[in-house]
Structures are given as structure tokens and as C-alpha cells.
Structure 1
Amino acid sequence: MTAATTTHPLPLAITMGDPAGIGPEIIAKWAMGALAGNRHVHPFIVLGDVGTLQRAAAMVGAPLQLRAVGDDLHGMREALQQGALPVLQACTPLPADLPMGRVDARAGAAAHACVQRAIDLALAGSVAGIVTAPLHKEALRAAGVRHPGHTEMLAERAGTTEFAMMLANGELRVLLVSIHLSLRDAIAAVTPQNELRAIRLAHRACRAYGIAHPRVAVAGLNPHAGEGGLFGREDQDTIAPAIAAARAEGIDATGPWPGDTVFMRARQGDFDIVVAQYHDQGLIPVKYLGVDQGVNITVGLPFVRTSVDHGTAFDIAGTGRADAASLGHAVEQAEAMAVASSMQPAMVVTTQVQPPPAPPLPEFIFMLTRHDKTIADALEQLPTVLAAGVRHIGFKDIGLPWAALQRLADAIRAAGAVSYLEVVSQDAASELASARAAGALGVDVLMGGTRPEAVLPLLRSTPIRYYPFAGQVVGHPSVLQGTVADVVASARRIAALEGVHGLDLLAYRFEGDSADVPALIAAVCAAVGKPVVVAGSIDRAERIAAVVAGRAAGFTVGTAALDGTFEATGLGPHGLTGQLRAIQTVLHDAAAQA
């Protein structure tokens, strides 16, 4: 570690949370102890409303001196050295009579602004990580914020779809395959793709703690991890192959272990982290050891983020009774992870013997479309799609009336899935109308379209990620014209445009020689430094294999799954569920063989 790193570590950004909740008062309580005893490895700055924090400090009897600092954080270190609490005014100043313990749009807007400012600092490399006090979902909604909480905001701004929830305390680390799903849906979410993603993220999380060779235990789904198939086959047919694939990547993953003993073994030191199959399987052992000790960590972001493991506690907000212990643990976890991250260059010699990790699996994006139109029963089919563990779901801008598209987009968002709108409009006016519709619908990704220069100005003030078509796309159903060289040249030009986040490659509607399609995918992916999603008629295993081999970021399937083109595996489910599970199995197999 260099002297500069040791002497001047980057600060942690601590966000105020909902000002009508207990966030400001637990910050005041924690800061009083941290500043009095100088008990902080990193410097820190609070992002919030100065007046609200002053009132919270007075209410809990904390003799804190608050020091406002500028956007460049100038004055932060001096404030800490003098025992003062540095605060960046990150939101519109709030009135002194803001009611406590009640949903208020002003509070939701302030909390949202503080998180967004913290993300700005993290993405700019100005802070070592973010520690968040709790938000209130209804207050966010009242303020017009479409995200239900921190995780969605952070992941979208960071541009990642590979993230997970981890709970940790001094004795256990647990990462979840699925989070807020019914037990029936959580079982359906046990897919090869989800299992391998969770194992990779668990490995990555431990590395962030400075563990050079993490030992990842994977909990079984069924009693006794299935007992060789006697109590269910998911453990041996789905979880075990994902573990084998992870081990082939150099990850020390083992299991599936019986869920009734694996957490005890991890607590005794046999493992560094446990991958739990569903919410309660993972959270019960962590919370049994003490709710006030738990820390919520978002894994998969390009920066450290920890949070308290409790909500806004409106019932006691403003009484001074809130316990700051969880915030203290969240800060300690963030400090430990930030220190480990700063030491990563020194770990190169240790880690270079490990084989390089395989690229992430391409995202399977299921399109609720048939023949380039959104299907009439898209909303009715959505629960089946979600229950199969699919979390990337798209539709087209034609096929349903506006009100139905809005209900569909709202339902996808409410389920915590990533939503995609693909443009199939054939003229400039309708394409621009579709771009405006994407903003109104609140989708996460706008795909397709052939006029990026006209569309980009409409998207610049939105969080929407934009993936226009590469090459010359014409007609409806759309086809991709030109040679491989033409498409690659177009891809380079479009990917270079500011505001373009990736490309939509209609590879399997290519009018050229079909034998050239795998080479086309590989050439476009190699030519641009941005994600490429492969679309078209992906209706067989070898086409998914070409997507994997070409190192695409994702692929879409719609009509083929709805028409039952893929062969359902074994004695598993049939219908749409069977199709979705079959596609996930094909994807996993293709990645294992790549």
C-alpha cells in the first residue's frame, strides 16, 4: 500500500435516508461516538439536509457541531480533525415542521436526492463507498420516484444487471439466489443461470473483503439436499451442475449442503460465505444472531455499498429511541471492504495463479412478443415468466394499446425485473414517439430503432439505457441487410455516440449467408466496447451457443418459446415454464462447453 493511500483514504458517503424516519437520529447517535473516540478508519461525510440533522442531534442530546462542506468536499478533513460532523447539503432544504413518522413527498424527494448525489461521488471515484440509512418506499412513490428502493437506483446508475443481496454480521455471510418471492416462485427461480450467477457474486463479495481464496458453500433446496433425489431432484439436477461450472472457473464452491447444518458449519469457520436458495433460508440464521448486528450489502456494484438492516421505523421516529448499532456495523463493514479494495493491487501475485474467470453468462431476455408484436395476453403470462426465474423481460411498442403497455411495464417494475421496450417503428415520427413512450412507461432499456441521432436528445434527461440497432434494419418483421463488414462498421459508428449504452444486433434476421451469423456476432462484439444484445429468431440450442461463443451480453427469445420450439428437459414442467427452463439449461450447457 502506498503512503498516499494510508495517509489520505477516500471518505465514505453516509446518506441521511428518509428525514421523516429514524435515519437522521441514528446518524447523530453514531457520529457522536465515532467523533468522540475517533473511531473511524476512513474519513466520512454525511449527505443530507443540514437543518434536519441539526434538529436530530438536538433531539437525541448529541452535542454535535455540524460543518457544511462544498460539492468538492473541501473542508471535510478539517471538520473531522476538529471533531465536527461534515455535512454536504445534498437536497433542497427542508422545513423545520416536516412531520415525523409520516409519508411525505418532500421527504421522499430529499432522500432520493441524497442517494443520487452519493452515487455521483462514487462513480466519480471521490468516495470509497456508500453507507445508506433507510428509505421509505411510499415516500419515494409520492415524490414521483419510480424506483422502490436503494438497490434498484444503485444498479441502474451503475449500469449493472449482475447484483445480489447479501446479509452479513460478525459470524455469517449469506448471499441470496432469490429475494422477495413466494416460496413456490423461489423454487422455480432455482435455475442453472441463477445459481451460477449467485456463486460468482458470492466469490466476488468475499474477494471484496480481502479473502484471497473464498470458500463458497451452496445450501441445498430440499431436505438433506435432496438425499440423492429421494426428496426432489433440483439439488442434483440444477444446483450441483452450477457448482461444477463454478469450480471449472476456479471458484472454490462446494455443495449442495443440507440447509439445516451448512450455516452452523460456516459459523464454525468451514466456509467464508453461504449461498442460500431463498429469502427465509438465508435471513433466519443471520437475524437469529441479532437483528441489530446485521448489515445489508449490495454485491455486484463497482463501488462499496452497505446499509442498515432495518427500515425507517416511523412508529418511533422523533422519539430518540432508535438504536444506531446497525448503522455502526454498516460503517464498519464498508470500511473493511474499502480497505480490502484499496489493497487489491498488492494481491496480484497471490491471485494470478487462479485461472481468469469466464465472462458472465449472457442475459436471457424473454420477449412477450410474437412476430414482432406484443402478445395480447402479455400481462397474464408475466407471473409464469417471473416464476421461472426470468428477470429480464421485454415487449414491443406495437400490439397492445397504450394503457395495457403501461400496466405491463408497471407490473415488470413492481416485480423487480429489468424491463425492455424494443422499437419496431418504420418511420422517423413513430420512432421518436416510441422513444417518448419509453420515458413515459418508465422502462429500463430502450432497444432497436435506426435513428439514434434523433432519439438521443429525448433520452438524455432520463435513466433509460439505449441499445439501437446496428446495421441497416428494414421492414416489418425487421431484417438486417448488408455484409458482415457493413454491419461491423455501422456498429462501431453507433457505439461511439455519446448516450448509446449498447447495441441491438438482429443477427438471426441477417439476410446474408446464415453460416456467417456466428462470425457476425463475434465480430460486432469484438469491435465495440459496449454490450451487444443478439436478437432475431433464436429458436435452437446452436444459436444460443453462438451467442455465448461470440461473447454477447444478452439475447432475446420470444416467438420460439411461446410456440414451444425448445425441447423441454426430462420430466420437468411443460408449456411456457418448460420452455423458459429449457432455454436456461441450454444457456448453462453452452457456457460450460465454451
Structure 2
Amino acid sequence: MNTLPIIAITMGDPASIGPEIAVKALKEKRIYEICKPLIAGDADVFEKIIAEIGLDVKINRIQKPADATFTYGTIDVIDLQHTDISKLEYGKINAMCGEASFRSVEKVIQLALDGAVDATVTGPINKKSINEAGHHFAGHTEIYAHYTGTKKYAMLLVEEQINVIHVSTHVSLRQACDLVKKDRILEVIELLHKGLTRLGKTDLKIGVAGLNPHAGDSGLFGTEDDEEILPAVEEARNRGFDVEGPVPPDTMFAKAAMGAYGGVVAMYHDQGHIPFKLAGFKWDAARQQMESVKGVNITLGLPIIRTSVDHGTAFEIAGKGVASPDAMILAIESAVQLSQNK
């Protein structure tokens, strides 16, 4: 037990499914067999959700990791006390909840920087709530980059078949096109290769998506593919990487889903997220709810480890006890894998 990594998990937005999936994940005994998990958040929020959905688990309120017992059946929570439980409403955008979720993220970052924990895992946050609380960040990735002083970073999404990294994420589509530059593409190719290696992947062939339809079709539909993406791919090959591209994205992601690549590079947020979620998210039409939500978000380039669920707050089902912890479990497992290959 002493050799297991300490994994710090954030609460997520208190009005979301974040607390529920964290508790459900830590109800899995196998999690305690691979790591020593703790949560940073508000103990009252976890007491509330446990009581409401009838989970057989206890909360141990602590102030620091050294106080944790790491005992299955008892969840250690670093109690930050930012949520007034009498004012908590599930499924609502709220500055109080934004503040609570932000402080949870801030806490685990500091714990990791101080070496008190081995890795961090984040639950879903609501960007509007965080901004209403006065914290003007586009998302988790930008918060981590800011507090760790990281300039070169990228988002990697991991699923059973598709592993995708992004040249840009939380910017407008118009701005995303302007960010397709040789140096940035080469940077994320290198980050992807390192990330796949640390995750223990053996297939390191990388596909690089084009930006325009048909990857520009020799300049007929845009010049970025020939002038920025192709030179980056050629330089990556010169550096010893097994890279193919620019590949028309509709073809590349179909090939990736069938195992043609160990990882792929998307040029912007939705180009990567849409096929990724089609592969990992399963909808139960009969019950009109998600059957399974699988997918892990990893921020590469940071001096600390950060993995996350790759789904949102799901306000519409918050507090109902039906949220799937699959993505949280995978995020914890990925954090453990990364911590073992620092």
C-alpha cells in the first residue's frame, strides 16, 4: 500500500454529476488496489449526494493528504468548505458552485506542485459558473497551464481505439484556422509521442489530420495543408517519428477507429472531439439516458499529471443517481499509469 501513488481528485461543480461520479468511482474496490485516492472539495456536498442516492460509504473529513486513511469504504475528502449546502441546487449555473469547483482545482494543483500527491484527476466544471465567480479561464487546461507556468501544452483524449491530440482547443473556429502553424503542429506531434509512450502504448504511428476538405486537394480548398501541415509532418519524419499526413480527417478518423494509428493529431476542438465521443459515448434509447461515457482527457506538457473525464457537467441528470462513473474510473487508471512512468 505504501508504494501506491496518491491520486487527488477534484469535486467538479457541486451542482453537477461531478460529486456523484467521484463517489461511485471510489466505490470500486479495485481503485484502492492500484492507488491511494482522495478528493479535494466540500465534504457537505459529498454527504448530501451519498444520502440522496443511498450509497453505503462514509466520508472522512481531512485537512491534508497526511490525514487520509485510504481505506476502502471510507472516502477521504480535503474539506475546503466553499459550498453553502442550503443554497445548493442541482443543475443550476451558480457563482458559489463556480468558486467551489475552481478552488478544488487550485488545491490539487498546489498539492501536486508541492509533491504531496502523485497525480491529479479532475471532475467536470461549468465554465460559466467559474467565470461568474470571477475566474476568467476557458477551461481546466488553461487553469493548469496558468498555475504551473506552462507555455507548451496540449489536450490528449484517450479511448480504446482513438487517441487524439489537438493543435488548438478553446478558441473560435476562425481563430483555430489561424493557429494551424508548422511549429505548433510539430510540437503536438512530439507531445503525442511522449504521451502514448508514458501510457504504455506500443503502437506509436501518428496520423495528422488536414484542416480543409480533402486536406486542401492540392490547394483547391485552402493552402494551410500544403504550407503548414505537410512541412510539419516532413520535419517530424526527419526527427524519427512514424507520421502520416495531412490525411483528410473523414478518412483519418475512420482508419483510427479501426486501429490504423496509435494516435492522431486534430487541428481544432470539434474535429477531434466529435469522432472521439462517437466512439466512447453510448446512448440507451430505451431509457433515454447515457449507458456509458468512456473517454479520458489528459493535459500533456505540464510539470504535474492531470487527467480528467471527457464529458461535461450533465446538469440535466445531476442528483438523480443515474450518472455513469466509467470515465472517472478510466481517468483514475490513466493517472496511475502516468504516475508509474514519470
The AA in structure 1 aligned to 2:44 is G
1:169 matched to 2:164? The reply is: no
Show structure 1 runs of 5+ residues with no match. 1-5, 342-594
Looking at structure 1, the residues matched to 188 and 130 of structure 2 have their Cα atoms a distance apart, in angstroms, of 29
Separation (CA, whole Å) in 2 of partners of 1:263 and 1:301: 27
- Residue identity (%): 39
The residue identity in structure 1 corresponding to 2:253 is F
The count of corresponding residues between Structure 1 and Structure 2 is: 331
Give matches, 1:10-89, under 5 Å.
10-32=5-27, 34-35=28-29, 37=30, 40-71=33-64, 73-76=65-68, 78-80=69-71, 82-89=72-79
One-letter code aligned to 1:61: G
Give the drift of 1:212: 6.8
Q: 1:159 to 1:59 in 2, by over 3 A?
A: same
Cα offsets for 1:549-578 (capped at 9, x unmatched): xxxxxxxxxxxxxxxxxxxxxxxxxxxxxx
Q: How does 1:213-362 map to 2 (within 5 A)?
A: 214-291=204-281, 292-341=293-342
C-alpha change, 1:149 and 1:225, in structure 2 (3 Å) is closer
Question: Structure 2: which amino acid aligns with 1:48?
Answer: G
> Secondary structure of 2:88's partner?
coil
Distance in 2, Cα, partners of 1:227 & 1:138 = 39
**Shift of the alpha carbon at 1:52?**
1.1
Structure 2 partner of 1:378: none
Q: What is the letter of the counterpart of residue 315 of structure 2?
A: F
Alpha-carbon distance change, 186 to 140 in structure 1, aligned in 2, over 3 angstroms: closer
Partner of 2:289: none
CA shift, 1:273, in A, is: 0.7
RMSD: 2.3
Quickly say closer, same or farther: Cα 1:142–1:228, change in 2 above 3 A: closer
Separation in 1 of the partners of 2:125 and 2:338? 23
Highest CA radius of gyration, 1 or 2?
1
Write the deviation string for residues 279-308 of structure 1: whole angstroms up to 9, x where unpaired: 232122211113211222212111221111
Q: What TM-score, normalized by structure 1, do the two folds share?
A: 0.52
1:121 Cα shift?
0.9
Higher RCO by CA contacts (8 Å cutoff, separation 6 or greater): 2
- For structure 2, the 5+ residue unaligned runs are 282-292
Single out whichever of 13-22 and 214-223 deviates more from structure 2: 214-223
Asked whether the equivalents of residues 203 and 262 of structure 2 are also in contact (C-alpha less than 8 Å), the reply is: no
Question: Corresponding residue for 1:102?
Answer: 92
Deviation of 1:15 (Å): 0.4
**1:206 paired to 2:196:** yes
Give the deviation of 1:40 after TM superposition: 4.5
Alignment of 1:409-424 (within 5 A): none
Task: Spell out, residue by residue over 1:204-259, the C-alpha distance to the aligned partner (whole angstroms, 9 max, x if none).
Answer: 22232134783222112234433444544332222111112223333332222232
* Aligned counterparts of 2:172 and 2:181: Cα–Cα separation in 1: 16
Normalised by the length of structure 2, the TM-score is 0.88
Shift of the alpha carbon at 1:314?
2.3
- Report deviation, 1:57: 1.0
Written as runs of structure 1 = structure 2, the 5 A alignment for 1:478-557 is none
Once residues 180 and 74 of structure 1 are traced to their aligned partners in structure 2, the CA distance between those partners, rounded to angstroms, is 36
Q: CA deviation at 1:20?
A: 1.7
Taking the TM superposition and a 5 Å limit, the aligned residue runs for 1:383-462 are none
Distance 2:166 2:70 in 1: 39
- Match for 2:96: what amino acid? R
